Structure 1
């Protein structure tokens, strides 16, 4: 189609009208593209198998960065909803990138007032990736990694060991939990203090 103009003013009016018609369409398409991009982002079905911990509450947190970034509020922190172990397992469907720098909090039905959240140990001092870990070994360890290096797979199953132990609580000795992976996983720093193998958290674990 040819638009004929008899003056500069008429031509400018035609251009302005055409721009008005095009802009709303581009604006409306932008949110749709954003939704499509999020849907296309790689996701991982992450399943934890946990024996003898029916009803245990599991929550995930992902936080990658340095302490300086954390102090400046520049760390991207993501936290999942809480899910309960049913029939020996619990599954999360999460963005794959959230597995990097992942920490796992566990709350067992038997726990007393510990003053912290039991945290899964991905690695204990003295172990390398792939090493087997028994409960008898775990309770002798003094340092542990709360941060997982993560995966790039669409589905992964991770066995967890969660056992009742006695710990120092807010008001004396109380029932608590020790939580760890029976096969040492790839981990991220830092290695933190653990008490008789028990790793507890009162804040977000910043992984690096």
Structure 2
């Protein structure tokens, strides 16, 4: 099969500007709950895009772990994404749920969550994931799998003798949205797109975009 022969017609739902919430976070929660009900695969997976020092964008999948005033995720602060966010604390998030033919794109400014928030989430993780946060020098070159396994044994032995603690290089970020676009697939590629943009007044401007 040739790539241009791969097609899917979107027919499940529609999206009207008169039906959405005035608050994009409330609208997000509504769509997220529908995605959960539809048993979307990895429903909280999102593509986090940051800007590298070379000017090229970098995207990778991370997991949404909290939604309060912003979108919260956790990672290694010394990873590529951590360094890029330190240099340029702006990023975008993209959710795609093919089960309900929906996409959400989010742009905003990113800041670290408090140490207490990072601690709370870290100690809620499985023990193996806590160990993993210690042994992975994320994004750095390693000699092979054996290096990781040796670090794992060393770290497990260490925390058999002392209480587990969160590594200082690991924690959370919160993206405060400035722009959120909701995309609903429609027939003939005439998709529905509703965009929220924050104004200087703090209010959200809602508009419909051409597909």
User: If the length of structure 1 is used for normalisation, what is the TM-score?
Assistant: 0.31
Whose Rg is larger? 1
User: If the length of structure 2 is used for normalisation, what is the TM-score?
Assistant: 0.30
Return the structure number with greater helix share.
2
